[in-house]
Amino acid sequence: EIVMTQSPATLSVSPGDRATLSCRASQSVSSKLAWYQQKPGQAPRLLIYGASTRATGVPARFSGSGSGTDFTLTISSLRSEDFAVYYCQQYDNWPMYTFGQGTKLEIK
Amino acid sequence: EMQLLESGGGLVQPGGSLRLSCAASGFTFSSYTLTWVRQAPGKGLEWVSGISGSGDRRFYADSVKGRFTISRDSSKNTVYLQMNILRGEDTAVYHCAKDGALGGYMDVWGQGTTVTVS
């Protein structure tokens, strides 16, 4: 099983600042990495796939980078609606996907 | 608009059974892998099971293998999750999700149905 590890568990950032979230895979997943945003009581929302491709309708302030085992989600100029939990997911081992444990992005 | 709508959740005793359904609309049902993902209260996302577009390949997490069965009915555009021998640790919100066009990432999610084993 490919283990996904996200850091930090909680990130406190002020509105307007930049947030950088990390995700590490226990073995290479190439670029088969997705990021999701989840707000309380809602289903996850796809943000990024292929490590760096924004999903339809996702604002340009969200960007993804990385390949192999180390990945980053960057949110530039945070807005109030961006405070949520973010999950990474590998899909290199189709369809036995694994998720990271999540990073909670909270208002500082 | 592509949509997934889950149903069938509820309260069940340990050792009991439940069948979840996920009705799909707005896309070519047989073209996509469909997946069940669950989220225990206050916890993260856990992949549970997946079924290929044709239905000939089915996969399960070790935690549910031998107890859960995934299936799909193209005539009804519906995917199912039959859950047997339920345990307390199966308590969660169960979401179904559709693979994206390039496969693997999940671009459409249902709101989920809650299963409580107690």
Q: How does pLDDT run across B60-81, given as a tens digit for each residue? A: 999 999 999 999 999 999 999 9
**What is the average pLDDT across A2-21?**
96
* Exposure class string for B64-81: b at 16+ Cβ within 10 A, else e: beeebbbebeeeebbbbb
Q: CA of A8: how far to CAs of A12, A91, A103, B58, in Å?
A: 10, 22, 6, 34
For residue A84, the number of C-alpha atoms closer than 13 Å in the C-beta half-sphere is 20
The pLDDT of residue B113 is above 90 = yes
Quick check: B103 and A101 CB within 8 A? no
> Residues 29 to 68 of A: which have CB under 8 A from any B CB?
32, 34, 36, 38, 42-46, 49-50, 55-56
**What is the average pLDDT across B79-96?**
98
Closest alpha carbon within chain A to B45: A99
User: How many CB atoms lie under 10 A from the CB of residue A66?
Assistant: 19
Does A96 lie at the interface with B, CB-CB under 8 angstroms?
Answer: yes
Q: What span, in angstroms and rounded, lies between the C-alpha atoms of A95 and B33?
A: 8
Which residues in chain A are closer than 8 Å to B106, comparing Cβ atoms?
A: 34, 36, 44, 46, 89
Q: What span, in angstroms and rounded, lies between the C-alpha atoms of B21 and B81?
A: 7
The pLDDT of residue B102 is above 90 = no
For chain B, which residues lie within 8 Å of any Cβ of chain A, measuring from their own Cβ? 33, 35, 37, 44-47, 50, 52, 59, 61, 95, 97, 99-100, 102-107, 109-112
Contact yes or no for B46/B38 (Cβ under 8 A): yes
> Which of A23, A97, A98 to mutate to test binding with chain B, by most B CBs within 10 Å of its CB?
A97
User: How many CB atoms lie under 10 A from the CB of residue A63?
Assistant: 16
Residue A57 confidence (pLDDT): 96
Q: CA nearest A102: which of B89, B40, B49, B64?
A: B40
**Mean pLDDT rounded to a whole number for chain B:** 96
Residue B13 confidence (pLDDT): 98
